[in-house]
Amino acid sequence: MKLRLKLGVVFTLATGLLYGQSSVRLETPQQEQIISRHIYGHFAEHLGRCIYDGFYVGEKNDSIPHSDGVRKDVIEALKNLNIPNLRWPGGCFADTYHWKDGVGPKAQRPAIVNNWWGGVTEDNSFGTHDFLNMCELLGAEPYLAGNVGSGEVQELADWVQYVNFKGESPMSDWRRKNGRQEPWKVKFWGVGNEAWGCGGNMTADYYTDIYRKYATFMSDWTNGSGLYRIASGANSADYNWTETLMKKIPSGLMKGMGLHHYAVINWDNKGSATQYSEEEYFKTMKSAWFMNELVEKNIAIMDKYDPKGLVDLIVDEWGGWYAVEPGTNPGFLYQQNTMRDAMIAGMTLNIFNNHARRVKMANLAQAVNVLQAVILTEGKNMILTPTYHVMEMYKVHQDAKLIPISLQSTDFEFNQKKIPAVSVSASQDKQGRTHISLVNIDPKKNNKVRVDLGSVKAAKISGRILTAENLRDYNSFKKPTTIKPVVYNKAKVVNGGAIEVDIPAFSVIVLELI
C-alpha cells in the first residue's frame, strides 16, 4: 500500500520491505521551493507560567539576570534556535485581551482576570511595548493575534496604527508619549483565534463575514501597509471551515489561513507526559502523523480555490498535549518533555518541510513552561527540553532549498495498526551544503536506511543524533543534560552515490553533506 505526497514523498506501508530496512531517494527539484524559516516559529500565550515567571520576571527582580524584566537566559536560548517569529498574546487569551490596558505607566494599568487559564489575576505589566521590544532582542518577527471575539473593529484598527504608523495620529502620538518614537512595523496579524471555539463559537459563514469586516479596517482597501493578515483556520479535520474561508474571503484580504492540531491521546483522558504505555505512545504518534493528512487535504482545498498559491497555510498551533504534572495548577498546562516529544517535533517538522509550497509558517505550542515547551524554568534555573534540541538541529533547514524525496519506510506497528516508522526531509542551504533529517519513531527497532543521493555529492558527511537510553527519559532540573545532541559518525558511503544510516529506536539524526 502506498501513500503519495504531492511534493514527491512516497511512503510504502508494510509490504515488500526487509525487516528494519527503509530507503530514501533525493529527487531533482522540478522548481525551486524554499523552506520558509517561519515554519520554525513559536508561541507565547498568557497561560500559566509562559509569560509571567517564564519570559518575564519583572524589572525589579534582582536574583535573575534580565533585560527590562525579560530573562536573559531565555533570550539567548531562543536566539540559538534562530527563532524567526513569536505569536502573542494567545491563543484563547487573545480574544479577551484589550491591548490598551497593557500600555502606559505600569502602576496605572488595570488588572485582568485570566478566565481561560487558571482564573489568575494579571496586572498587565507585560504588554505591547514589552512584547515587541522583546522580539527585537530575539531578532524575531512578532505575530500579533487580534481580539475579534470580545473586541471591536476600532480597537484592532487602533492597535495597528499604534505599532505601525510613523506619522502624526492619535495612536502614534500615544506610542511616543509612552516612550517609543519609531514604529515597530509589525507584519503578521491574526484576525481572531479559534473562532469556531474559544474565539466566539462562530460558524464558518459568520466568521467569514466578521473576518472580512475586521481585515478591511486594519489597512486601506489596497492593503497598502502590506499587512500579512491571517484568518482563524480549522480545528483539525474541519475541512468545511477551510472550504468556506477559501470560497468566501478574497485573497486580497487574506494572506494566510490557520490550522490547529495537537497530538492528543484522548481529550478527556490525555495521559501522563512521562509515564505512558506503549499503546499511549503509539496513539500519540498516530495523532502526530495525522498532521500529514491534514496538511495535504487542506492544501488540496486551497489549490481548488487559489491555484496561484496566493494564500499560505499557517499551522499556528501544534504539539503534544498531556495531563499536567502532578501538583501543578490544571489551568497552567505545565508538562514535562520526553523523547516522545522529540519524535513529535522531528516528524512534524519533516511534514512541514516537505509541504513547503503551501506551509509558510508554524508555531509550536508553546515556548516556555506550557505544553510542548522548548524551555522550562524554575526560579533561577532553566533547562532545554528534547524538543528544543530537535528545533536546534533542524534550524539548518530555515530558508534552504527543499530537496524532494521518495521514501519507502518500514512500519511502526501496534495491535495490528501501523504508521510509517521513518520520516525524512532534505534541503540545500545557500552555501551548497545538503542537510537530511531522519526520524525513527519505532520505540524498539533500529531502522537501517539507504539514502540514494541522486545528483547530490557527498565528499564529506557529518551528523548529530538525539536519542536516550529510555523512551520516557527527560531533562530535569536535577539532571538538565540527560538528553542532548551528540556527534553521529556512522553514516557510510556505499556504491558511490548512496549512504547508509542506522537509526536507533526513537532517534532523530541530522546529516550534513558537503
Which residue in 45, 141, 194, 392 is the catalytic one?
A: 194
Q: Does the bond joining 252 to the residue before it have cis omega, within 30 degrees of 0? A: no
Asked whether the beta carbons of 191 and 232 are under 8 A apart, the reply is yes
Question: How far apart are the C-alpha atoms of 84 and 278, rounded to whole Å?
Answer: 35
Element (H, E) at 113: strand 112-114
> Is 243 an active-site residue?
no
* Sole residue written with cell 519533516: 350
> Is 194 an active-site residue?
yes
Question: How far apart are the C-alpha atoms of 384 and 42, rounded to whole Å?
Answer: 15
Which residue in 45, 122, 141, 317 is the catalytic one?
A: 317
Asked whether the beta carbons of 370 and 47 are under 8 A apart, the reply is yes
The grid coordinates listed for 305 are 480555490
CB atoms under 10 Å from CB of 464, counted, come to 18
Question: How far apart are the C-alpha atoms of 310 and 514, rounded to whole Å?
Answer: 35
CB atoms under 10 Å from CB of 469, counted, come to 9
Nearest to 299 by CA among 484, 175, 291: 291
* Sole residue written with cell 500519540: 284
Question: How far apart are the C-alpha atoms of 3 and 92, rounded to whole Å?
Answer: 35
Asked whether the beta carbons of 411 and 419 are under 8 A apart, the reply is yes
Q: Could you give the count of Cα atoms lying within 13 Å of 3 in the half-sphere of its Cβ?
A: 15
Nearest to 411 by CA among 133, 19, 140: 19
* Residues in the chain, overall count: 514
Catalytic positions, written as ranges: 194, 317
